[in-house]
Each structure stands twice: as C-alpha cells, then as structure tokens.
A and B are shown apart, each in its own frame.
Chain A
C-alpha cells in the first residue's frame, strides 16, 4: 500500500517520494511467526540403522566372513562375548578357536573397553568382520542397547538385534 500523493495517474502529481505502509506487513509477519513457532518441533531426531538377526536378512556379510560375533547384555551389567564359526578351530589354538568370554562390569557399568579390545582382536584376524549380533536379557532397558550401539558404531557399523 502506498501513501502520499505519488502516482502516475492523470490527476496525480509527479512526486515519487512515498512511504510503504509497513504496519500490515508487520501484522502478517507476526501471525506467520506465531504459527510457525507454535507448530515447530525443536526435537532433533536421529536414526540408528539396525536389522534383525534372522536368516535371509543382511546375510551378504555372513558369506564373506566366516566368523560370527555375538554379544549378550545381562541384567547385572555383565556381557557375554561369543565368537563362533572360526575356520581354524584347532584344539588349543587360542587365536583361531571359537570362544565365549564373560566381560565383568566396570564401575557399575558395561565393560565397553574390554569389548572393544575383543572386537579389535577379531577384526585383526578377520578384517571383514563388520557385523555382530547384539542381544540382551529380558529386563535390560532399551537405552543400554542404543548406548552400546553408539559406542560400537565406529568399530562395528552393522549391529543386528538378536536373541529371538
């Protein structure tokens, strides 16, 4: 909207000095900003990719790498690390044999440092081992699973949920 006597009409003068009336624009902006602020969600949502450890789902890696890594979370912050499918599983061969290890809790929490070391050992022998199966006891809360997945992500990008 223009005010003043500017304009190029036959009866208007030639004065082009006019002011835009900003009041209705401010009104519109106020309504729009209020609506957008009310409808906006300030929660930043992220997604963790995972899959279900069932035959047929994401088993391309399983063909390339013979070993299978299983980690189970128990209720008392104890973890069970299990390596299976190692081809050179000779009797007394500690590097090649399948094994199961209990990882005791540290400072009333999960012993993630020891778990990372175990994974490093496996990946040093089988560099293609990039996936593992994570399961938990019935009472273990979901937040612990997500936290562990987050910790393991740099070392083990493909974490499948199991224990069915």
Chain B
C-alpha cells in the first residue's frame, strides 16, 4: 500500500504536562530595553519645568532646551514665582487693589526684590556666582499682553531682563 507519510488521523496525542513553564528570558530583554530608554530620557532633563494643571502653554516648532533660572508662572488665577503663589489674578488680570501707582503689582515687586537680594547675598559669599538676569516666563497662551507687560516690566526693574519664554514643542 502506498504511504503518503501522513500522520494517522486518530493518533493518540501525547498527554500535556500540567506544569507549564513561562519563557521569561525574552520578557527580561524587553524590560531591559524599556528601562534603559526610560532611564536615558529621565536623566537627560535635569530641569523640572512642569506647568500647573489647566495651563495651556503656547506651541512652537522651534525652541532651545530649558535653562536653570528664576521661574515665573502666569496662570488664569495667579502669578507664581518658583512655584510659590505671589499674586492672585482674576481671569488672567491683576486686581486693581494689587497694583501700585505705576500699575505694577506690589506683591510681585517685593518678591523680585527678595529674590534679587538673595542672589546678591550668594554672589557676595561666593565670587564664582554672579547675579543672574535670566528669567523663565511660563505663561498661559491666553494671557493678555497687559498682564505679561506688568510682570516682565517689574522683573526688568529688578534686573531680570533676559527673558526665556517657555513653549511646548510641536512634533
């Protein structure tokens, strides 16, 4: 009889082992790759620039990497300097009672004065450190120029005239 080399249709299969072992070597390889990638992206950004919840930063194609400087955040409800609420805003605008005769916010002035004095004290004790003119401005895209103008002119009065405007990079 001609044989076609087929397996018999009703062959008795081997009994399956109840002890199944999971091959985790490939999983370990995948995890190693993910871990290396995450660690690399984690260490490459030493500066922590995280916008507040609800803040919409303007988007841009260009932009250089962030630098370490005094951080000023302008959101819908307030102005924060180094993550500390300095002056409250109402719908992105300063309240009338918070402004002085020149239209500059009082609380902001006192905070910039304090920050500048702190930098000068550090510079006094350490000659390698110089008072910095850089300031990181992280403002919501809807902030009117009036508010922005008040903040940056107050900063400029205290020597912070080198503006670094924070944007979200578009892909």
**A and B associate:** yes
Residues from chain A with Cβ under 8 Å of B142 in the complex: 141-143
In-complex Cβ contact of A150 among B32, B60, B140, B148 (8 A): B60
Cβ–Cβ contact A142 & B141, under 8 A: yes
B 52-64 binary contact with A (CB < 8 Å = 1; else 0): 0000001011111
Q: How far is the CA of A37 from the CA of B41 in the complex (A)?
A: 11
Return the chain A residue nearest B67 by Cβ: A47
Cβ–Cβ contact A138 & B50, under 8 A: no
Cβ–Cβ contact A51 & B140, under 8 A: no
| Majority SS at the chain B contact face | mixed
In-complex Cβ contact of A49 among B34, B60, B64, B149 (8 A): B64
Cβ–Cβ contact A52 & B152, under 8 A: yes
Cβ–Cβ contact A46 & B64, under 8 A: yes
Binds B, one of A25-33, A80-88, A98-106, A124-132: A25-33
Residues from chain B with Cβ under 8 Å of A58 in the complex: 161
Cβ–Cβ contact A30 & B66, under 8 A: no
Tell me how many residue pairs across A and B have CB atoms closer than 8 Å: 148
The number of chain B residues with a CB under 8 A from chain A is 51
Cβ–Cβ contact B58 & A147, under 8 A: yes
Return the chain B residue nearest A164 by Cβ: B153
Considering residues B136, B161, B168, which has the most beta carbons from chain A within 10 angstroms of its beta carbon?
Answer: B161
Cβ–Cβ contact B51 & A22, under 8 A: no
Residues from chain A with Cβ under 8 Å of B171 in the complex: 44
Q: How far is the CA of A47 from the CA of B67 in the complex (A)?
A: 8
Q: How far is the CA of A33 from the CA of B35 in the complex (A)?
A: 6
- Known pairs A26-B28, A36-B38, A142-B139; A48 contacts B167 (CB<8 A): yes
Residues from chain B with Cβ under 8 Å of A41 in the complex: 45, 50
